[in-house]
A and B are shown apart, each in its own frame.
Chain A
Amino acid sequence: LAKTTQPISMDSYEGQEVNITCSHNNIATNDYITWYQQFPSQGPRFIIQGYKTKVTNEVASLFIPADRKSSTLSLPRVSLSDTAVYYCLVAPTGGGGNKLTFGTGTQLKVEL
């Protein structure tokens, strides 16, 4: 199983770029990497997904090095509303749905 490791917490200020890294040394060839955001009293919400190199959407970028043993979620110019817990998920695209692994989450706190 692809065990994942993330920092427990991070602090930032409004307007800064935040980078959260997830380690997944045992990632398999058919695994994708996904990041989720969770606010208190809500279920996690999909942010971004990738397989290798760089993926960008309207809210974040995801950087995955060639060896795929880690990934970095980049949040540009964070605001107070980005205060949340961020999880990385390593999961196969098909089969082995019971082998997906969430990280323990990173609590991001954004201050003025």
Chain B
Amino acid sequence: DVKVTQSSRYLVKRTGEKVFLECVQDMDHENMFWYRQDPGLGLRLIYFSYDVKMKEKGDIPEGYSVSREKKERFSLILESASTNQTSMYLCASSLTSGRSGYNEQFFGPGTRLTVL
């Protein structure tokens, strides 16, 4: 069974802290994504990676960076956490080849981050 795991379900951090959110997939997928989900705003793409060490900005990259050193792992980094980054963060992965492309994404359970 396909699996995307995220390092924490709940996380509480203080303003100004550096925060790492980790995501691991076991499906050998090329693509990995980080989204944030807020009430009334749906899912918004933060960053996307289509290969090791490759990344592209999504709709809302400001205040975030990412790292993909290995194919199965995609990390989201908040360099200096702020209260407006309190949100649910969702990681996903997908294949590149075939008709599905980016459409059939497999999501992790999410990390609810609270920044105080």
Q: Which A residues are within 8 Å of any B CB, using their own CB?
A: 32-34, 41-46, 49, 87, 89, 91-94, 97-98, 100, 102-105
Total interface residues on B, CB under 8 Å, equals 30
The B15-46 residues at the A interface (CB cut-off 8 A) are 31, 33, 35, 40-45
Given contacts A97-B50, A98-B48, A98-B57, contact A42 B101 (CB under 8 A): no
Partner of A32, one of B33, B99, B110: B99
In the complex, besides A43-B110, A94-B96, 8 extra interface pairs with C-beta distance below 8 angstroms are: A33-B103, A46-B105, A91-B101, A102-B43, A102-B44, A103-B42, A104-B40, A105-B42
In the complex, are the beta carbons of A43 and B90 less than 8 A apart? Answer: yes
One of A42, A46, A93, A104 near B109 (C-beta < 8 A): A42
Ranked nearest first, the 9 interchain pairs of A and B with the lowest CB-CB distance are A43-B107, A93-B101, A104-B42, A34-B103, A98-B56, A102-B43, A91-B102, A97-B48, A98-B48
Cβ contacts under 8 Å, A49 to chain B: 100, 103-104
By a CB distance below 8 angstroms, the chain B residues around A92 are: 101-102
Residue of B nearest to A33 (CB): B103
Within 8 A of A (CB), among B85-103: 90, 92, 96, 99-103
Q: Which of B33, B35, B104 touches A46 (beta carbons < 8 Å)?
A: B104
> Which residues of the other chain, A, contact B48 by a CB distance below 8 angstroms?
97-98
CA gap between A43 and B44 in the complex, in Å: 13
User: Chain A: which residue is nearest B101 at the CB level?
Assistant: A93
Is there a chain A Cβ closer than 8 Å to B4's Cβ? yes
- Is A97's CB under 8 angstroms from B42's CB? no
With contacts A41-B109, A43-B90, A87-B42 known, is A93 near B103, CB below 8 A?
yes
For the complex, give the distance between the alpha carbons of A106 and B105 in Å: 19
The 8 Å CB contact of B103, one of A32, A43, A45, A105, is A32
A91 to B48, CA, bound (A): 13
- Which residues of B sit under 8 angstroms from A97, Cβ to Cβ? 31, 33, 48, 50, 56, 102
B43 engages A32 (CB within 8 Å): no
B92: chain A residues at CB < 8 Å are 43
Q: Which A residues are in CB contact (< 8 Å) with B31?
A: 97
